[in-house]
Structure formats: structure tokens, C-alpha cells
Amino acid sequence: MEVKDLALSPKEDVENVLCEDVTVEEAPEMIKLGEKMIEACAKWGGIGLAAPQVGIKKKMFIWTVGEDLNGRNFQIVFNPKYFVIGKKQMMLEGCLSYANSHFLIERYRRRIAYYYSFFGGKFVKIVKPLLGLKAVIFQHECDHVDGQTIAMKGEKLDEEKNKAFIDSLKSDIPSEKKEIPKEGTGAGGSAIYSFTPNLGDSK
Ligand SMILES: [Zn+2]
């Protein structure tokens, strides 16, 4: 597999895609791909990107880790799995595969994640409890490698509410989120927001 410049696949190729586990033999090449994906994801204003979104049918994604989600501190994840615990909440999510759209989706607040990293020529299993936003990003990307997307599971905001939401982000970004690139959110980056479902009729 030669890693070229990456491009986003059309959503038809992302929905219901079947991805295979990454093998130890494939890992070095997948790391090269992961590095390209990190570059592309940062450029596109996303906070996570799964291999099938760029046409690679493998269970691999990159995601933003660390306390500062805007710090672009990405990590490569192989063969992820999780189980959920705790309460559900409604989230408003965007995705690089659905530019300019946001979807309301029910997510669990906590989950236990399992995945592999590659060190010294072998896979190392990582088990981690995840809370809040990180739990949501992890599930969003896990869904991708299982052929599921927010458009398949969530409820799309209509045009007016979507526009109102994007405008509200631009005018009312809390100080700690000031670095969210406007282009990223406006162009449908993989932004994920904690959300109270009250976009009602009033603007
Ligand atoms: Zn996505």
C-alpha cells in the first residue's frame, strides 16, 4: 500500500463499509498512513479521522487526545473496541464525511476503550476508561470502522437550525475553545459539542 496524498471518500463509500483488523505485519505501513491522516485531519479542521473515510478499509483511526483538544495531540489507534457504562446524553456532532451538516445523536457519557498501539514491532493492548468528550470522539471513530456514521444513527439538523448553530459557534465561542478553526466547524470538521437539545422554534 502506497501512501499518497489523502482525499475524503464520498459518504456512499463510508456508510456500511466493512473494515478488517490491522495485522502486526501491516502496522508499520499503517503508521505511515496514520501520520498522513493526522496531517490531513489537522488541515481539514477535524479532531478525528478513520481509515475508511480516506478509502482504506482497515480498523484504524486517529484521534485527538490530551486535555487540550485544540492542541492537535493526535494518536493512532488500531483495532478498537469498547463497552459503555453510565448515562446517555444527546450530542451534536459533525463529521468530515458530511461537510456543513450536524447531527443530534445519543451517546453514553462513559465507556471503557480497548485498542492497540504499536511499540517495538508488536501490538500493545491499551485499556482505558474514557469520559465525556473523549468517550464520544472514541465512539464516533469506532462507528466509522464498523461502517456506521452519525448520518445513519442520528437526526440531521435542518438547514435553518444548522446555520443558527454554526453562527452561534462563530459569535459565542467560549474562551477555552477560541482556537476552534472557523473553517473547520463551518466546513463540517469532526467537531463534537456537548449539547442541550433545545434548538426549538425560537432563534
Ligand atoms: Zn466522522
CATH number at 159 reads 3.90.45.10
Distance 102 CA to ligand 1 centre (A): 11
* Position 203 confidence tier, pLDDT thresholds 50, 70, 90: very low
Full domain range(s) for residue 20: 11-194
Q: 130 lies in a domain?
A: yes
pTM of the predicted structure, to 2 decimals? 0.80
- Active-site position among 2, 67, 141, 160: 141
Taking only the tens place, the pLDDT of each residue in 7-66 is 999 999 999 999 999 999 999 999 999 999 998 988 888 889 999 999 999 999 999 875
Residue 4 falls inside a structural domain: no
Ligand 1 centre and the CA of 83: distance in Å?
19
The reply to whether 203 falls in a domain is no
Is 111 a domain residue? yes
**How many whole angstroms separate alpha carbon 195 and alpha carbon 111?**
19
Q: Is 141 a catalytic residue?
A: yes
> 199 or 93: whose pLDDT is higher?
93
Total of domains in the chain = 1
Residue 171 exposed, middle or buried by CB count within 10 Å (0-12, 13-18, 19+): exposed
Tell how far the Cα of 5 is from the centroid of ligand 1, in angstroms: 19
> How many alpha carbons fall within 13 Å on the CB side of residue 30?
29
